[in-house]
Amino acid sequence: MYKLDLKKDRPIDLIALGRLCIDLNANEINRPMEETRTFTKYVGGSPANIAIGAARLDLKTGFIGKVSDDQMGRFIQHYLIENDIDVSGVEVDQTGAMTGLAFTEIKSPEDCSILMYRDNVADLKLSTTDIDEEYIKRSKALLISGTALAASPSREAVYLALEYARKHDVVVLFDIDYRPYTWNSPEETATFYNLAAEKCDVIIGTREEFDMMEQFEREAGADDQKTAKKWFDHHAEIVIIKHGAEGSIAYTKDGGSYKGGIFKTKVLKTFGAGDSYASALIYGLFQGWDLPRAMTFGSASASIVISKHSCSDAMPTVEEIESFMAEAQQVT
């Protein structure tokens, strides 16, 4: 059984930190980007999607990040507010940085890609002066994601937030969220990811993402149990390793392991699954559920989101997930 000390007397359940951007999802599906002419705009970014998903599940949610001083930045802030996310930790950049854009291509359910514009983006301008210790102290949990580690000053801001979280017994969740195009080399990525992961209580990622973090430990290879043990020697209580269509495996510090399956659904696109899985899993952890139940809830949420056009807009409520689970077929 896992042991997460979520302080019940704190007013904020979850604070997410990191990337706030715009998703532009192709309206013309089953065709390449070169032939796509129209897109629909959504708020995006992995930590933003997870925060939105958590808020839809009635967790009291806040965000720490930075947005551009323009229409796109205001669109993001307004959307977060509309979804009952506290934005007192969201700062407006004053350097002229822009909002990151993610254009999505939906050739088929199995062939989706993302074209990212990440030059001089506002979210990576988050600095240590933007991190409020008292704000983090008021939360039960802090969520970080890997893309915020890709450049300074955002990288240092994440590490400071982690220090405050550890100081005040805030549970830290790490969504690895590895995007190769934002990094100079796998070795650089592994260095900064490992420094962050050492301070985290829950680590969630794909097998490929954990492989990236093991650049300097090739003997570990693709062995899930060895990977989990490495992090249990630090702060981790739970390590979840995702294997795509084969489901996921969760390991706990006390030696437990639990396999999670997937639900059958009509897949429109593949992106968004990880974020919806994480938000619903986190909800389950907050309810004190056992891991298999929380993982099943996360898988159901993921199946709902990949059947819809958006990521953030598609994040389901508790009632929607429960209704889906009552009707859908689970594959273990």
Contact 202, 174 (CB under 8 A): yes
Q: How far does Cα 177 stand from its chain's mean position?
A: 7
* Whole-number pLDDT of residue 218: 58
The 8-class DSSP code of residue 266 comes to -
Contact 27, 39 (CB under 8 A): yes
Give the C-alpha separation, 192 to 140, whole Å. Answer: 25
pLDDT tens per residue across span 109-129: 788 888 999 999 999 999 999
H or E element in which residue 71 lies: helix 71-82
Give the C-alpha separation, 121 to 129, whole Å. Answer: 18
* Domain architecture of the chain: domains with CATH: 12-20+45-95+123-331 (3.40.1190.20)
pTM of the model: 0.96
* Whole-number pLDDT of residue 49: 98
Residues in the chain predicted with pLDDT less than 50, given as ranges, are none
* Whole-number pLDDT of residue 262: 87
* Whole-number pLDDT of residue 271: 85
* Whole-number pLDDT of residue 258: 95
Q: 238-242 and 202-206: which strand pairing?
A: parallel
The CB-side HSE value for 155 (13 A sphere, CA atoms) comes to 13
Give the C-alpha separation, 234 to 132, whole Å. Answer: 25
